[in-house]
Structure 1
């Protein structure tokens, strides 16, 4: 039997954890959450141990204090970078959910950069190593997109696809039927969170192409979040777009 350590957050993490509880409850050794939420409530309802995350060192120490051991770790839509000694704690390491088609768009804001760079898009399960999103690929699912897509639609579609990929892959993963494939990190791209706002600034007098401008605008179109911005006459404006195919 595989003993699994789960670190989960968000709607995707909740859906995947619920599925694992329903179909592979005996595998679950510990569920870690970002705090009191629907995932910790689901753990209690299933009579499974759950703890809040306070850092990699804290969690590793807690596992040692309780005398726990794990075969596999799962990062299900987990928002924090985990560090040693936690990374090496499960015997087979950790598998992370990353919403891009690695090695494309490693790091932050995958939905924005996929459109801006016109890169292949999708979702990936990969082994966790010290480098960010750099570990060998376990499984991938590519998602086509077109002019009607925005940063919001890619985000939402990635969530649905990721939940599906976890459910499709986990039975083979726990059975040891998957051989990870190393990434070619000379391809693709990597972006930090600090790059988003500068890349979203539209300089009115800087030459560009209509294609690149429209891609940048729709990549930052996500209602409830900031759009692209530009300044003119001492005032700053924000812009989002809606593109629909004419049939």
Structure 2
């Protein structure tokens, strides 16, 4: 099977390397920029796989591969479409996890092949959640790929399902804290922990003409117990749904 791969981030590279070692897969190219997408029509692969590709793939590219274009989304669809789903899963109190789906002309609206949720807790930061989601992205893709190869994939439409969608600007707006805003304490903590992702400076507030960055740490009150689903060890995740 001829494959063109689109992606740049950590879980994308791990999936790419896994495919490189897979018998029966001929990885013809790895594309990381929008300007490179014209190569898909030149190569005419059987399938396109995207994992960590940050650009919208146009319809003329999506129509090239006979077996479609698969995307690995670091969120549970349709609940968390768009930018930084790990952040919005915390802020909007939605499931966190991974989805393998076919790409269409919308953003994260194509037919869903499988989803996997990861466990979360009130002690999690955005980085904690993303770390588990990365692992789920790789494992879920590796589980569904044999069905892609054999042509036995079953997918369900998202057409009639409601979900959330956030753009990059929504995230940037979330980062700007208003010192005069009145908000529930738990909602503020959810926002701050969602934006805590060291070494990045996300949450920002201006007080008396000076700007500050804000991170937050939340830990269980009982030191003898852990509220970390990972138990301080290997990454873990919860339920799997396949269609």
User: Please, what TM-score do these two structures have when normalized by structure 1?
Assistant: 0.84
Structure 2: runs of 5 or more not aligned: 223-243
Q: Structure 1 residue 85: deviation in Å?
A: 1.5
Does the residue aligned with 2:60 lie in a helix, a strand or coil? coil
Q: 1:54 aligns with which of 10, 30, 35?
A: 35
Does the residue aligned with 1:54 lie in a helix, a strand or coil? helix
Counterpart-to-counterpart distance in 2, 1:185 and 1:78:
26
2:13 match:
14
Counterpart-to-counterpart distance in 2, 1:95 and 1:157:
21
1:193-208 correspondence runs (5 A): 193-208=168-183
Counterpart-to-counterpart distance in 2, 1:69 and 1:87:
11
2:111 match:
136
Counterpart-to-counterpart distance in 2, 1:230 and 1:53:
34
Q: Structure 1 residue 184: deviation in Å?
A: 4.7
1:221 counterpart = 2:196: yes
Q: 2:91 aligns with which of 104, 110, 116?
A: 116
Asked whether the equivalents of residues 62 and 104 of structure 2 are also in contact (C-alpha less than 8 Å), the reply is yes
1:150-201 deviation per Cα after TM superposition (whole angstroms, max 9, x unaligned)? 1111121111111111111101121122211011565220000011121222
Q: Structure 1 residue 245: deviation in Å?
A: 0.8
Counterpart-to-counterpart distance in 1, 2:60 and 2:199:
38
Counterpart-to-counterpart distance in 2, 1:145 and 1:213:
18
Counterpart-to-counterpart distance in 2, 1:173 and 1:104:
24
User: Please, what TM-score do these two structures have when normalized by structure 2?
Assistant: 0.85
Counterpart-to-counterpart distance in 1, 2:160 and 2:141:
24
Counterpart-to-counterpart distance in 1, 2:134 and 2:86:
11
Does the residue aligned with 2:12 lie in a helix, a strand or coil? helix
2:28 match:
30
Does the residue aligned with 2:176 lie in a helix, a strand or coil? coil
| Cα distance change of structure 1 residues 125 and 131 upon mapping to structure 2, 3 Å threshold | same
1:231 counterpart = 2:231: no
**Aligned-residue CA RMSD in angstroms?**
1.7
| Cα distance change of structure 1 residues 173 and 205 upon mapping to structure 2, 3 Å threshold | same
Does the residue aligned with 1:159 lie in a helix, a strand or coil? helix
Q: Structure 1 residue 124: deviation in Å?
A: 0.2
Structure 1: runs of 5 or more not aligned: 35-51
2:101 match:
126
State how many pairs are aligned: 222
Of structures 1 and 2, the one with the larger relative CO (CA 8 A, separation 6+) is 2
Q: 1:242 aligns with which of 201, 217, 220?
A: 217
